Structure 1
Amino acid sequence: MNRKLIDWPTFIASFVLLLAVVIPLVIYPEAGEAFVNRLNDFVAGNFGFLYLIMGLGIFFFLIFVAFSQNGHVKLGEKDEKPEFGTASWAGMLFSAGIGSSILYWATIEWAYYYQGPPFGIDPSEAQIETIQWASTYGIFHWGPIAWAIYTLPAIPMAYFFYVRKTPVIKISETLRPILGNTSDSIIGKVIDVLFIFGLLGGAGTTLALGTPLITAGVSDITGLEDTMLLRTIILLGVTVIFGISSYLGLKEGIKRLSDFNLALAVFLLVFVFITGPTLFISEATTNSIGLILDNFFHMSTWTEPLANISNFEETGFPEAWTVFYWAWWLVYAPFVGLFIARISRGRTIRQVIVGTIVYGSLGCLLFFGIMGNFGLYLQLTGAYDVVSVLNDQGAPIAIISIINQLPLAKLMVIIFVILSIVFLATTFDSSSYILASVTQKEVDDGEPERWNRLFWAFTLCILPLTLMFLGGLSTLQTASIVGGFPLIFIMFMLAISFMKASTGDLKAEDKFRPKTVVLDYRRIRERLRRRRLKLKERDEEKNQRDE
């Protein structure tokens, strides 16, 4: 155990900040929850448009980078091959980016839009529109903009780590081209601590969704009552899995878990697609893609401006869904970006950008298209009233009830629960791995200290577990999203920092590159021009003699 490698100011400050938020919520849960919710309403209501501008801006910025000269830069040596195969690489970035939340929202999110559709649509009068948007909006929220937000931090971090050979994986280090030596000051520490706090809260959001879902599945399989004791046992079991995976490291633990996760996910999707309403799933998903393509800019910028005028009714849809999702992606972005950067050695920047956005969006499209439209089909045909179960018994039970409508129901619930556990574990072992990297001064061979990984693995479990007993976990989620507000500006700084560093390096490389090839080309072109002139003069002399 090498304690000298630890960045103790960042390590201690991150842990203290989390305690400073958690302890008041434990002592004064109701007052703390009310304060955090008011703060969240203020940020979402008054600055929601900034989140929307950020999302659209990041998406188009990355498209520009991918097809510019900067996109050709390889992360590593010029002749180096990718460290991980494409399937393993895509599986790891997908598992780290969405966790068990994809199983939760892909299966049930449509039901919320079905009851409260966007754009002020009245579900009782415009049923066809309501159904179409219910099938579509989840795919949009988990689509290209979400994965673009994840990708932006990955590009500068990977560039500095693999191209400039900086032995540190930190947001503050990535901003050095802008901040200069300020990166080593208190400002740099604050930036890193904000990132860690956001990650801990974002992980709490995933935990808040994943644990009740897994518990509902276990309760359905075993007949045990869904109690706090059962949730605690399940949470500790998941902690052991991701703790072991994180301890084993990237190649031995996280990669293998992600590969297993990907295979199980593909099996579940194929089974639901084949045994479910295949034609309806295919047509509804295709229709949703068309709706998104037709309305991409409208959906990306809808802010409900008339809600500020007293004569118009406010639905709160943009703040409750799109702004919330963009804020959630933003809080998770530095972590997912760090992880994508770490696994992308040997790939070009263009491959990382296009691959992450395409593979990530495609994976979410399949989950929402298949799982979501299966649940929607049950509702529309009257085969099962999902909406009533959702409203009366909650989302976890509604989700497990949808899975129970499949053939071989018990077996599929078991597979669904295992997949939820593995998804949750892969997200958390990736989180603890990155938290350990950020709190170290250096990362030897890309692997942070094992004891550091284990510390953050159990920190990710113990603190949310405490709040789960007290019923304050949702408050921590909200607090982390509010605390992530400064990350909007840090994201723009990351974009500027990357362009400044990479463009400067490319210009320096061109300056010192030998010019012999260019000179030879010019010389050859000059010789050809002279030869053409001589031939022309010879032809003119011949014509004169003939005359």
Structure 2
Amino acid sequence: MKTRLIDWPTFIGALILLVAVTLPLILFPDAGKAFVADANSFMTGNFGVLYMIMGFVVFAFLLFVAFSKNGSIKLGDEGEKPEFNTFSWAAMLFAAGIGSSILYWAVIEWAYYYQGPPFGVTPESQEAIQWASAYGIFHWGPIAWAIYTLPALPIAYFYYVRKKPVLKVSEAVRPVLGNSVDGPLGTVIDVLFMFGLLGGAGTTLALGTPMIAEGVNSLTGIPANLGLKAFIMLLCTLIFAISSYSGLKRGIKVLSDINLWLALFILAFIFIFGPTRFISETTVNGLGILADNFFKMATWMEPFAGIGPFGETNFPESWTIFYWAWWLVYAPFVGLFVARISRGRTIRQMVLGTMIYGTIGCILFFGIMGNFGLYMQLTGSFDVVGFMDQNGAPATIIAIINQLPLAKFMVLAFTVLAIIFLATTFDSSSYILASVVQKSVEGEPMRWNRLFWAFALCLMPLALMFLGGLDTLQTASIVGGFPLIFIMVLLAWSFMRASNEDIRASDDYQSSTIHIERWKKKGKKRRRSALEVLEEKNKDEDDK
């Protein structure tokens, strides 16, 4: 084992922080849960506006970068082709960034908006239906993918343009913080990123595992108890450990391709054999509502709530701010992964590709799966809201899939897709965690390092699952991820400073080269003219 390549302060610091947060939740679950909930309410209630501003500014900044001179920079050598074809590239970034969470929320999120709509709209009204079909796409749309993409800019730039063989968030802010990132400050930045990712992984497991368990229960009759959920978690761990061990091209790429093809099959089946016209019209209508109200939705903070006669819904804190905080926790990981797989593309292709492909994928999931469930509710074919109130969201999701033709087969396909989605997220996570704790990543992180983080990602959430603390770990990671707002500013600043310096240097070099060439040409012309004059003089003398 080449342990000298390991950045031990970061490696040990991340584990210490995770244990320090997890142990109190295990030993004092009720008190820990109450403390984390209060901290989360304090953060979202008092600093929610920072999250809203961050989301909108990041979106605008990336559009500026994509269409500026900086967007033309090639990630790699001149003339180098992309390392992965567009399909595999899109499949990997989508699977890493979304995971099984989209199967959970795409099917059921509309039901929450339908019962508790924004802007003071009457619950379960026709207007509430309109917002229910649009808000999910908004929360999983361009701003979400912009937050994901920002960290990829400086990380990819230093890795492929300046040839720094390090995949670290701390390395990406070196142009602003200088050599201080080589000390404790850089370690703190990387540890905060890793803690956010480990906590975010707990969120994905908290959503995905019960849903998969309900799918297995529907197919086999095995009760969806803690034993089944633990088995599912260990099975997923084995799958993503093998994938991560196999590497980026033989493991993660293959699993992501399978994942995307299966997802497209399920979406096509629901679209064709479900209420095709309703799905089409409701999705287009939802996109129209989103386009018409994008700025309103991106800035709505409910400032008059609780003042005088104005009521309070807590919708921004419960949904938009929560989602922006969640994307922020995952952003450095997804950014690192997108940077790693984007060799051979330009900055513009990476930015627009991630935002466009990611958003299109989420539109398809929410538009098809979500509107299928909404159709069941509105036509009375299946009382989604009533069933969810009695049985919970995971069981309701499987019950909705059971309304399709070939129900058992579709539940099987859906459950397998959820397992693969969970595995693709975690193999990408373990790959990036292994990269961050290495001093140098030339090629791929060491295999033992990748395997260690594959199992570390599972063990803590597994322990908390038995104690009912997964949701608390998710909230703790979001609270702990608050400093990442300021790290995002540093990342944007670092990219602009480094890329602009190199662009100016390149322009100066080209300008000086052109000047030298012109000088040489003029010099040749002057020498040629003098020679011609001498020849003419000699010719005249000969004639005389």
Question: Aligned match of 2:271 in 270, 273, 278?
Answer: 273
Give the C-alpha shift of residue 78 in structure 1: 1.0
Q: Could you tell me which amino acid in structure 2 is paired with residue 492 of structure 1?
A: V
Question: Aligned match of 1:368 in 340, 356, 366?
Answer: 366
Aligned to 2:19: 19
Q: Could you tell me which amino acid in structure 2 is paired with residue 3 of structure 1?
A: T
Aligned to 2:107: 107
Aligned to 2:529: none
Write the distance in 2 (CA, Å) between the matches of 1:55 and 1:176. Answer: 23
Q: Could you tell me which amino acid in structure 1 is paired with residue 312 of structure 2?
A: E
Equivalent residues in 2 for 1:70-219, closer than 5 Å: 70-123=70-123, 127-219=125-217
Write the distance in 2 (CA, Å) between the matches of 1:24 and 1:131. Answer: 42
Equivalent residues in 2 for 1:131-530, closer than 5 Å: 131-445=129-443, 447-513=444-510, 515=512
Write the distance in 1 (CA, Å) between the matches of 2:377 and 2:318. Answer: 23
Aligned to 2:533: none
Write the distance in 1 (CA, Å) between the matches of 2:442 and 2:44. Answer: 41
Deviates more, 1:311-320 or 1:9-18: 311-320
Return 5+ residue gaps in structure 1 as ranges: 525-547
Write the distance in 2 (CA, Å) between the matches of 1:270 and 1:338. Answer: 31
Write the distance in 1 (CA, Å) between the matches of 2:511 and 2:191. Answer: 45
Write the distance in 1 (CA, Å) between the matches of 2:339 and 2:517. Answer: 40
Aligned to 1:33: 33
Write the distance in 2 (CA, Å) between the matches of 1:170 and 1:310. Answer: 49
Write the distance in 2 (CA, Å) between the matches of 1:115 and 1:123. Answer: 5
SS of the residue corresponding to residue 285 of structure 1 reads helix
Give the C-alpha shift of residue 522 in structure 1: 12
Q: Could you tell me which amino acid in structure 2 is paired with residue 157 of structure 1?
A: I
Give the C-alpha shift of residue 122 in structure 1: 1.2
Write the distance in 2 (CA, Å) between the matches of 1:522 and 1:278. Answer: 69
Taking only the aligned residue pairs, the percentage that are identical comes to: 67
CA deviations over 1:153-187 (Å, ceiling 9, x no partner): 01110000000000111011000000001111111
Write the distance in 1 (CA, Å) between the matches of 2:306 and 2:179. Answer: 44
Q: Could you tell me which amino acid in structure 1 is paired with residue 488 of structure 2?
A: M
Write the distance in 2 (CA, Å) between the matches of 1:436 and 1:221. Answer: 37
SS of the residue corresponding to residue 314 of structure 1 reads coil
Write the distance in 2 (CA, Å) between the matches of 1:388 and 1:3. Answer: 56
Aligned to 1:531: none
SS of the residue corresponding to residue 307 of structure 1 reads coil
Write the distance in 2 (CA, Å) between the matches of 1:180 and 1:520. Answer: 37
Q: Count residues with an aligned counterpart.
A: 521
CA deviations over 1:382-433 (Å, ceiling 9, x no partner): 0000001111100010000000000000000000000000000000000000
Structure 1 segments of 4+ aligned residues over 3 angstroms from their partners? 514-524
SS of the residue corresponding to residue 358 of structure 2 reads helix
CA deviations over 1:113-136 (Å, ceiling 9, x no partner): 000001111125xx2111111111
TM-score (norm 1): 0.94
TM-score (norm 2): 0.94
Write the distance in 1 (CA, Å) between the matches of 2:52 and 2:254. Answer: 36
Give the C-alpha shift of residue 444 in structure 1: 2.1
Aligned to 1:69: 69
SS of the residue corresponding to residue 132 of structure 2 reads helix
CA deviations over 1:84-130 (Å, ceiling 9, x no partner): 00000000000000000010000000000000001111125xx2111
